[in-house]
């Protein structure tokens, strides 16, 4: 059993300066995680020889964006977003080998993108948005190797890719009570080719305080470089090399009602169909993990929500969802897909909004595991205190997660030998942010 072998460090930085129609944004996020679950056949930290490094991962991303946003006298708008991003991740993995080497994964990605859009109203009843996108992934590097004393390279893969799109969207006010929002987008990328994605929403307001929405949309996702090309020297994984893009079609019916100034409710019914779902599976022919297109998935469900504002200080939010997500061919429920989820929140604002508190309860029903078992249902509570404007520009956030120290687990992935992964007991988080 791994003991005292879990930990995580996060850093976030965001800055923005602007003058006139121009603004410059800079962001950096990083996460260093000690991994106690011994995925991919690693040794549990508790079983490692003295002095060996715990399994851990690091991932970080830095982005710089230049934005031009101009409003014209006719109420039209031109927005141009130019972005550059760099991503780096690495993992140190502990294997008990006779030569004592640690294994290291490294991934580096760099890309730039350009996103112009123009918004205008050709008539009082129409608001049109036309836009385009180009993204150049000029670096997609992946490597895996054993560290000295016996260096050995299993993977040194270097790729590049690109993606582009054009789209148009129309917000049409048919009558005062009936609106139509319709759009279509054409995407083309170097991996999946071209894809056309329509979206439409019909909105009806029978009275001022209620709306009924019928929404239909299509979307797609291409396989990324990791899913296509990663392997570890054919020890546990092999590259897929060729995957179709995932295709998703969703239809949703939503009813929103503001009963009075204190009570609002939402009811949503939805159905989605996914084909060519990209998942990782064990190939029985050679015992290696590989990403494949796993047929079709059919999902349907209902979501209910209520907001209650008791007074100027206290409010409550309640939500519940029921869903069925099944593999179309076998009729079996999807792994890690709960049938029932619920959430209850009580929020309070004190000291003239300078101090707020929130108590939250979360319920999760049983979920299927990869091995065919189930994780038990659980209910956990979280408590958060937020201090704002106590010091100019500073926000203080203190949270206790899993307040009652409940024992619960999440289904494990195919990379683990265990069926489920125990989650953290009562834990404490403190965050300080300063804006200037």
Q: What are phi and psi of 39, to 5 degrees?
A: -75, 160
Give me the residues paired with residue 213 across strands: 203, 254
Interior angle at CA 306, CA 305 and CA 308, nearest 5: 160
Q: Could you tell me which of 76, 176, 167, 193 has the C-alpha nearest to residue 127?
A: 76
Side-chain-side CA neighbours of 328 within 13 Å: the count stands at 13
Instruction: State both tokens at 320.
Output: 């519940």
| pLDDT tens string 417-428 | 888 888 989 999
Tell me what the pLDDT averaged over the chain comes to.
Answer: 90
Sites in the chain below the pLDDT cut of 70: 1-5, 41, 44-54, 96-100
DSSP character at residue 47: G
Distances (CA, A) of 135 to 85, 220, 276: 11, 16, 24
| pLDDT tens string 109-137 | 999 999 999 999 988 899 999 999 999 99
Helix (H, G, I), strand (E, B) or coil at 86: strand
Q: What are phi and psi of 311, to 5 degrees?
A: -160, -165
| pLDDT tens string 252-296 | 999 999 999 899 999 999 999 999 999 988 888 998 999 999 889
Domains and CATH numbers, the chain: 7-114+131-165+175-182+197-434 (2.40.170.20)
pLDDT at 51: 47
The span from the CA of 336 to the CA of 340, in Å, is 12
Instruction: State both tokens at 51.
Output: 């002095």
User: Judging by beta carbons within 10 Å of its beta carbon (0-12, 13-18, 19+), is residue 146 exposed, middle or buried?
Assistant: buried
């Amino acid at each position: 059993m791994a003991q005292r072998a879990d930990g995580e460090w996060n850093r976030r930085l965001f800055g923005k300066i602007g003058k006139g129609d121009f603004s410059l944004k800079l962001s950096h996020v990083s996460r260093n995680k000690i991994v106690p679950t011994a995925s991919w056949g690693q040794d549990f930290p508790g079983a490692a020889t003295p002095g060996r490094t715990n399994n851990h991962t690091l991932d970080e991303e830095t982005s710089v964006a230049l934005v031009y946003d101009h409003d014209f006298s006719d109420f039209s708008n031109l927005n141009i977003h130019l972005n550059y991003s760099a991503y780096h991740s690495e993992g140190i993995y502990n294997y008990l080998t006779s030569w004592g080497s640690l294994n290291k994964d490294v991934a580096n990605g760099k890309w730039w993108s350009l996103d112009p859009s123009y918004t205008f109203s050709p008539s009082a009843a129409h608001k049109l948005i036309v836009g385009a996108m180009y993204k150049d992934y000029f670096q997609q590097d992946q490597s895996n190797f054993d560290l000295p004393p016996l260096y050995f390279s299993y993977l040194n893969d270097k790729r590049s890719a690109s993606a582009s799109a054009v789209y148009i969207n129309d917000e049409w006010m048919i009558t005062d009570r009936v609106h139509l929002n319709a759009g279509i987008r054409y995407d083309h990328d170097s991996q999946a080719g071209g894809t056309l994605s329509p979206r439409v929403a019909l909105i009806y307001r029978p009275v001022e305080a209620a709306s009924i929405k019928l929404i239909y949309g299509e979307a797609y996702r291409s396989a990324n470089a990791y899913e296509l090309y990663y392997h570890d020297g054919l020890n546990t994984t092999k590259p897929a090399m060729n995957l179709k893009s995932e295709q998703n079609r969703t239809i949703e019916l939503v009813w929103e009602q503001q009963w009075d100034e204190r009570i609002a409710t939402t009811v949503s019914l939805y159905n989605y169909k996914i084909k060519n779902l990209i998942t990782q599976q064990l190939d029985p022919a050679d015992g290696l993990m590989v990403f494949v297109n796993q047929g079709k998935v059919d999902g349907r469900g209902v979501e209910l929500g209520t907001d209650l504002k008791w007074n100027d200080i206290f409010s409550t939010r309640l939500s519940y969802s029921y869903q069925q997500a099944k593999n179309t061919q076998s009729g079996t429920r999807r792994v890690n897909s709960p049938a029932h989820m619920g959430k209850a929140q009580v929020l309070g604002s004190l000291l003239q909004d300078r101090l707020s508190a929130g108590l939250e309860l979360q319920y999760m029903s049983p979920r299927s595991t990869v091995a065919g078992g189930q994780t038990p249902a659980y209910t956990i509570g979280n408590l958060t205190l937020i201090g704002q404007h106590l010091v100019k520009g500073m926000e203080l956030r203190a949270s206790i997660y899993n307040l009652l120290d409940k024992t619960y687990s999440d289904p494990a992935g195919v990379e683990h030998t265990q069926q489920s992964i125990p989650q953290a007991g009562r834990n404490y988080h403190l965050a300080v942010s300063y804006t200037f």
